[in-house]
Every structure is written in C-alpha cells, then in structure tokens.
Structure 1
Amino acid sequence: MTKIAIFASGSGTNAENIAKYFEGNSNIEISLIVSNKKDAFVHERAKTLGIESVTFSKNEFENTNEVVNYLRDKHIDFIVLAGFLLKVPDNILKAYPNKIVNIHPALLPKHGGKGMYGDNVHKAVVQAGDTESGITIHYINENYDEGGVIFQAKCQVGKDDTYEDVAKKVHILEYTHFPIIIESILKDKNG
C-alpha cells in the first residue's frame, strides 16, 4: 500500500478529486492532507472525505523537522502538491527524493516561477497572447517549477478568452489527468 500525503493551501478541489479517484483502491491511499493555512477549505473537504488533515506554520515547514517527522510517523511514501503555495524546503526534498509531484496550471517552462500560481498564471497567459495553455505535472526540486516534467496536456486559448475562460479549461485538464498520472507514476515506481 502506497500512502500519499496531499499538500494544499486553498480550496482543495484537486485534493478532493484525487482522493475520490483513489477511494477503494487497494494499492494507493490518500492518508493525509497537509496545509500551511488553518482556515483553508481543504480541511473541510478532508473531513467530508474522512481523511486526516493537519496544519503546519510556515516556520514549522521552513525551520524545523516537524513536517518530515510527522510524515514519517504516518508512513507517508509519496507527496502530491495540489495548490500548495509554499516552496518545499530542502529537508522534505531530501526525505522524499523523486517522490514529490506538483501540478502547474500552464505549459512549463512558460509562466512558471515564484508568484506564478492560480489566476496569476491564467492572466499571464492571456496577457502574453498565448494561443494555448494547459497543465504540467512535474517532479519538484529546490527551484519553483523547474523539476523534471512528467506529463503535459494542452488546451486552446481563443483570442477573446478571458483568464476565467482559460482557468475553466485548465481545471478540466487538471481533474482529468492528475489522478491518472499519479497512479501511473506509482505503478512505475512499484514495478
């Protein structure tokens, strides 16, 4: 059984979608939701789904081993970032080498880096006049949005599309592909 922790900072729609996808799976379990915000709606989703959720402060993430120790105590094997807005610190990267994946709401390397998340990304896509956007699922490393790309999916951006239109198209790609790609990564890792 592979135990996954999902890290999320906000509403948790991707976390919920992933958790529902793996419900009843005998090989993969969403065991824990980790957030850096006590009031993030992802905690309410976790309650509804019957998944433990916990909050750690920015300081606990960045300056202590509390998060790593907690993950180890819970026998977490793999981490999925789903709208997690803090940079993952080195101690977690070292504890989980090539075992942390993120989804970015654009086609990296375009529109990545610090501050490029959510609507900021979709606005940048529209402002740049891009004709396509999409999602990038990638491993993470010590730099924002620079880890090895695992998968990309594209959607068209019309010349009259607003950033909200782009967001809707990208969300569909996220919900469709992220759980399936997580499952395929874990199948590959587990032989």
Structure 2
Amino acid sequence: MKRIVIFASGSGTNAENLIKFFHNRETASVIQVLTNNPYAKVLERCKNLNVSALSFNRVAFSKSEDVLNILKSTKPDLIVLAGFLWKFPEFILKEFSNKVINIHPALLPKYGGKGMYGMHVHKAVVANKESETGITIHYVNENYDEGAIIFQAKCIVLPSDTSEDVASKIHKLEMEHFPKVVEKTLSE
C-alpha cells in the first residue's frame, strides 16, 4: 500500500477529503498530516479522523532537518500539499524528487506565484473579468507554482460572480478531482 503525507496550513477540507477517499482503499493511505500552523483546523479534523498530525515551526521546516527526518521516517510515496502556504525547501525536494505535488486554485500559469493563494486568487480572477478559471495540480519545484502540470479542470466565471462564488466553484472542483488525481499519480 502506498503512503501519503499531507502538508496543510488551514482548515483542511482538502486534507479531510483525501483522508476519507483513501480510508478504505487498497491503493494508498494517508499516514500523516503536517502543518505549519499550530491552530489550524486541519489538526482537529485529523484527530476526528484518527490520523496522526503534527505542527512545526519555520526552523524545523527550513533551517534544520527536523521535518525532513520525520518524512524520512514515515517513507511517503507521495507528499501532497493541500493548502500549504510555505515554499518547500530545496533540500526536502531533492530528497523526495518528483514525489511532492500541490493543488492551486487557478489555471496556472495564470494567478500563480508568491502571495497568490485562496481568496487572493479568486479576487484577482473576478477583478480581471476572466471568463473561466479552475484548478491546477502540479509537481512542486523550487519556485512557487512553476512545477510540471499534472492536471487541470476548468469552470465558467459569470460576469455576476463574486470572489466567494468563484471560491465555491473551485472548492467543488477540488473535492471532485484532487483525490482521483492523487490516486492516479501514485499509480504512475
């Protein structure tokens, strides 16, 4: 069985969706969730779902090998970023080459890069009067949102849509596609 470690920073709806999707599957299992936010709701979700979850600080993540050592000990087949906001250190990426993927709430390369996450993306999409947006699942490299694209799904943006409307459409795409794409990526 393949092993998945999730990194999250906030509420954890994508993490919960992945945990539930893989719960009774024979293909893979979410073995741990790591967060950079000790107050993240994802920690509560993990407790309720009986999944190991730990929080860490910036020193443990990028200035020491603490998080790297946790990953080495859990031996994940795939590391999934699900609303994780920090840039991944190159030394971790090197150790887990082509094993770190991310979901982004826009059709990259549009609306990617530092500071482009969550409602920041949706507000920009509405402000620029885009006719469509979507999600991008991609490999993580040393630059924000520039890794090779694995999958994209689109949705229409109506002229009357607010950023909250766009957020709701993106959330539906994430819930529908993310677990399936993770499973497919693990089988390749």
Deviation at 1:121, TM superposition (A): 0.3
Distance between the aligned counterparts of 1:151 and 1:70, measured in 2?
A: 28
How many residue pairs get aligned? The number is 188
Whether the aligned pair in 1 keeps the contact of 2:27 and 2:183 (CA below 8 Å) is no
Kindly report the root-mean-square deviation, in angstroms, between the aligned alpha carbons of the 2 structures: 0.7
Q: Residue 11 of structure 1: CA displacement?
A: 0.3
Alpha-carbon distance between aligned partners in 2 of 1:78 and 1:91, rounded to the nearest angstrom: 16
Alignment of 1:98-109 (within 5 A): 98-109=98-109
4+ residue segments displaced more than 6 Å? none
**Amino acid of the residue matched to residue 157 of structure 1?**
V
Once the two structures are superposed, the pairs formed by residues 138-153 of structure 1 within 5 Å of their partners are 138-153=138-153
Following TM superposition, by how much is the alpha carbon of 1:27 offset from its aligned partner in structure 2, in angstroms? Answer: 2.5
Q: Deviations over 1:150-170 (max 9, x none)?
A: 000000000010000000000
Tell me if the contact between 2:133 and 2:154 (Cα under 8 Å) persists in the aligned partners.
yes
Alignment of 1:169-184 (within 5 A): 169-184=169-184
- Which residue of 2 is the match for residue 7 of structure 1? 7
Match of 1:63 in 2: 63
Q: Residues 139 and 147 of structure 2 are in contact (CA less than 8 Å); yes or no, is this contact kept in structure 1?
A: yes
Instruction: Please give the alpha-carbon distance, in whole angstroms, between the structure 2 residues aligned to 1:187 and 1:50.
Output: 25
What do the CA deviations read for 1:109-148 (whole angstroms, capped 9, x no partner)?
0000000000000000001110000000000100000000
Partners of 1:185 and 1:74 in 2: how far apart?
19
Distance 2:121 2:34 in 1: 23
User: Mind listing any 5+ residue stretches in structure 1 that lack a counterpart?
Assistant: none
**CA displacement, residues 29-84 of structure 1 (integer Å, 9 cap, x when unaligned):** 10000000111000000001110001110121111111111111122221000000
Query: What fraction of aligned residue pairs are identical, expressed as a percent?
Result: 54
Supply the AA of the counterpart residue of 1:98: N
Q: Which residue of 1 aligns with 2:74?
A: 74
Q: Distance in 2 between matches of 1:164 and 1:147?
A: 27
- Secondary structure of 1:152's counterpart equals strand
State the alpha-carbon separation in 2 of the partners of residues 77 and 38 from structure 1: 25
| Map of 2:87 onto structure 1 | 87
Give the alignment's TM-score, normalised by structure 2. 0.98
Alignment correspondent of 1:130: 130
Normalised by the size of structure 1, how large is the TM-score?
Answer: 0.97
Q: Provide the residue aligned with 1:31 in structure 2.
A: 31
Displacement, 1:3? Answer: 0.8
